[in-house]
Structure 1
């Protein structure tokens, strides 16, 4: 006898990606179980300094649209924000870096991004993994998500209409399973996803140590004949050892080992008295060829891994969760148009591939060779120009991210601008419920009769706007991506776009 699914979705992994996805699914009233192997969410690696992450503009917008921004980054001036890192304390205000080469705000020309409005999301903002997970876990619990910690996924099988997950000797059934369980994903391996990519060139170290002679190391980032290290007194050190990634995950990290690597890379006789905290990582870069196999999907590091250089991984995963959540929910409800769930891979795979190449390019600039040092010198000159700084800000901050939705309008496929409406609200306010949005900027316009059929999936708002962007109608998907933009008088095209993204109406007009 075939088992009846107990849940609409089981999510493996209670990190930020799994929790964000769970929240998105619960907004659509799907039943969700999250399984997490770790017994506790607490870890010193999620706290400063190693737990600090730069949140990109798309991530900040996603959190804002769901009313989570203050809980994650704090309110400016409240004293509840994450303090800036030491490298930000400079006469010139840094905007980020590429392979350690900084670009600065005084060279960035945001006017080159005409479809972005001035506002609080004009650049990256910091938070910590601990704070992000805490805020998302609290929201998920409030929405009714079940979170089971200390539970390890052991195996899984899928049929035409369900997935059976075996965890800690128990069988659990769901209509869908999503692996958000990290770079060593058990779901990815058990389901047989192809994981293509490149092998590592280095082992990276993040350590907090007690040094006997810290004055032997100069603060800041340093490239040497054998690698790279960054020193933040009194004892926070990041190192890159071009050993082919051989040490990562193969042996315990000891004070003696850290001292050996640090001496070799720094060229000093520095002595490590004690090791307080340490972790390793590599530049291995791999990505699944498809984010879906039957009723099993992947998101976050389970779908793509790369070095943490530039802090792109968390933002990439949050983007996956936002893109997948509403599409999977529509599929579960039965009102998804044909091919909607497949568009998750079609839209997110290119974004992931671009981030992997961005990571590889940074590694190429860090190799300890004369040729690389010469190339890095040229890159420093380029990044100091206005064109260069603006380009790198676009990429690092995610300011110009665009999905190819097959529409030539310059706004389609981009994050919707947070337009100020004449009724006193802003566009993001109308996305908090997880529905789509049809914004009719002719404040006097009556409710379009045909749009009544989608009121269970799309909020209709008729209001003028403060900023005239040369359009009269905007269709926004639940993830905040513009699906269609028009200048008025094009109802047939708009209705076609609505059907493409939101399926057939629940109630026919007429």
Structure 2
């Protein structure tokens, strides 16, 4: 088996990365160790996709099938519940449909403004997300092999070799570890993984309670946290006990019952337990995301408490940032130094998430001092500026990859402008003589990024601007049109949706070379 890029781990991060590579003309091979029950177990609990992740997935047309999966799940949840005034499911459905849910910060709700054009949050199970991404991957022709456990990796300088548990050998130009917090790829690559040890133990299980109505969700339970999931039968606890002594042994009904009783100070009885997992707030960060031809993404690069639901989103954003860059390098269209921007851009983003998840854990500890602190923060969140700051932080919409660049657009995710005016087909740039077509209401800018190429927006109708991309048509698309109130004659957008450059003709050639190579 050989591939351009070997991806170890076929969860959401590995699948999205594989899709981005394939879209850019590179052949990845995904090796996933788990199969069957293992994949089902890791789907315990609800997963939330935040605003920036939905913006990113929207570039590839994936929001609609994910939204369909979400509403199918909520239909199931509502079908199994008795109608009740103030029902939590109905309330959540309303907020999601209005685009008002900005997530939460340590259980304190972050409610945004209603009326967004696209969803700002989706909630679903991990297996639903994986199914949509797997279908997208299959449509692109990505090869995914389940039940393939990697035992050893080696960077040989001109390529990477992976040896599977059954003795088979796979060779590739590059290898990306998307294999979770206890990543074999990270460990064998020698990348340091530093941080802080666990202070809490979380458990989530599918369990049958003797009296389900006697137990209620509480963020401020006497011994920690108790949460009855929207999914019938799922129950979660968090105890601030220094972390789990054992991570891998099966969770038993007796263990879950004891945890519920300690956390809630009730006499809850667990009759049976179908499956369960343990987790903690162990918080660690890889010092670099790249060592030679080996790279890390997702939990392999950073682990933290799941409180706040940012980990999955952080990993998916890693994949979007890395995919197009690695593809250009593999194809020989850009120098290897482009890969250095992956760590440079994503490491600070993860560091900030690790900081705010540590803060969220601190805010969940029981006790009157923390109660008072939560009351003070709740008051602060009533202020529009404070609430907007926390919503942006929780959703990744405040990310700026180029904070020291003079132009305010550069380094930020491209606004979803509506382009009107003249659309310029790629064939005109290649000198075919076509004059293009006139069209009113060309559409939204982000829709022009669907094929995985970069995008040069010609906002001034300049032939010189459009000619600058000649020879790069396979990885930069040109669109000309008008956008209201944009202080730039042209805008260069990367395949991941972030603005690489904005201005007049001066500097465009340099920006194209820096981000897309010599052409």
TM-score, normalised to structure 1's length? Answer: 0.88
2:133 alignment counterpart: 136
Preserved contact between residue 244 and residue 279 of structure 2 (Cα < 8 Å)? no
- Secondary structure, aligned partner of 1:478: coil
Paired residue for 2:374, among 376, 392, 397? 376
Q: CA deviation at 1:260?
A: 1.2
Picking from 53, 63, 66, the partner of 2:57 is 63
1:95-152 alpha-carbon deviations (Å, 9 max, x no partner): 42111122333xx599xxxxxxx5214x222233112111211221222221111010
User: C-alpha separation between the residues in 2 aligned to 1:173 and 1:406?
Assistant: 40
Aligned pair in 2 of structure 1 residues 119, 471: CA closer, same or farther (>3 Å)?
farther
Query: Root-mean-square deviation (CA), in Å?
Result: 2.5
* 1: CA distance, partners of 2:37 / 2:247: 21
Q: Deviations over 1:366-391 (max 9, x none)?
A: 12233222212212222233233222
Stretches of structure 2 lacking an aligned partner (at least 5 in a row): 79-86, 96-100, 421-438
Point out the more displaced range, 168-177 or 35-44. Answer: 35-44
Question: 1:155–1:190: 8 Å Cα contact kept in structure 2?
Answer: yes
Aligned positions, number? 482
Q: 1:360 to 1:299 in 2, by over 3 A?
A: same
State yes or no: 1:468 paired with 2:489: no
Say whether residues 1:317 and 2:315 are aligned partners.
Answer: yes
Q: Which residue of 1 aligns with 2:456?
A: 438
1:447 and 1:364 map into 2 onto residues whose CA distance is 52
The question of whether the paired residues in 2 share the 8 Å contact of 1:153 and 1:165 is answered with yes
Matching residue of 1:187: 185
How far apart in 1 are the matches of 2:114 and 2:197?
37
**Secondary structure, in 3 states, of the residue corresponding to 2:58?**
helix
Partner of 2:153: 156
The worse-fitting range, judged by mean Cα deviation, of 367-376 and 189-198 is 367-376
Are 1:52 and 2:69 an aligned pair? no
Question: Quick one: structure 1 residues 366 and 179, their matched pair in 2 at CA, closer, same or farther if it must change by over 3 Å?
Answer: same
Q: What stretches of structure 1 of length at least 5 have no aligned partner?
A: 111-117
Please tell me whether residue 495 in structure 1 is matched to residue 509 in structure 2: yes
State the Cα distance separating 1:271 from its structure 2 match.
1.4
2:206 to 201, 205, 208: 208
Normalising by structure 2, we get a TM-score of 0.87
- Cα deviation, 1:280-334, whole Å, max 9, x if unaligned, reads 1111111100001111000001111111111101111111001101111111111
1:111-260 alignment runs, 5 A limit: 119-121=117-119, 123-167=120-164, 168-217=166-215, 219-232=216-229, 235-249=233-247, 251-260=249-258
SS of the residue 1:140 aligns to = helix
* C-alpha distance in structure 1 between counterparts of 2:143 and 2:275, whole Å: 32
CA offset digits 1:404-425 (Å, max 9, x no partner): 2641211111111122222423
CA–CA distance in 2 between the matches of 1:202 and 1:449? 58
Say whether residues 1:98 and 2:105 are aligned partners. yes
What is the CA-CA distance between 1:427 and the residue it aligns to? 1.5
Residue 201 of structure 1, CA deviation: 0.4
Pick closer, same or farther for the CA change 1:435–1:37 going to 2, 3 Å: same
Between the aligned partners of 2:240 and 2:130, the Cα distance in structure 1 is 32
Q: d(CA) in 2 for partners of 1:402 and 1:129?
A: 28
Quick one: distance in 2 between partners of 1:372 and 1:468?
A: 46
Q: Show the counterpart of 1:114.
A: none
**Candidates 249, 271, 274, aligned match of 2:272:** 274
Q: Partners of 2:480 and 2:464 in 1: how far apart?
A: 8
Q: 1:27-46 counterparts in 2 under 5 A?
A: 27-40=23-36, 43-45=39-41
Moved more, 230-239 or 472-481: 230-239
User: How far does residue 397 in structure 1 lie from its aligned partner after superposition?
Assistant: 2.1
Distance of 2:461 and 2:314 partners within structure 1: 37
How far has the Cα of 1:482 moved from its partner? 0.4
CA contact (8 A) 2:254 2:270 kept: yes
After superposition, the Cα gap between the structure-2 partners of 1:316 and 1:470, relative to the gap in structure 1 and judged at 3 Å, is same
Distance 2:251 2:38 in 1: 20
Q: Taking structure 1 as reference, are residues 226 and 39 closer, same or farther at Cα in structure 2, changes over 3 Å only? A: closer
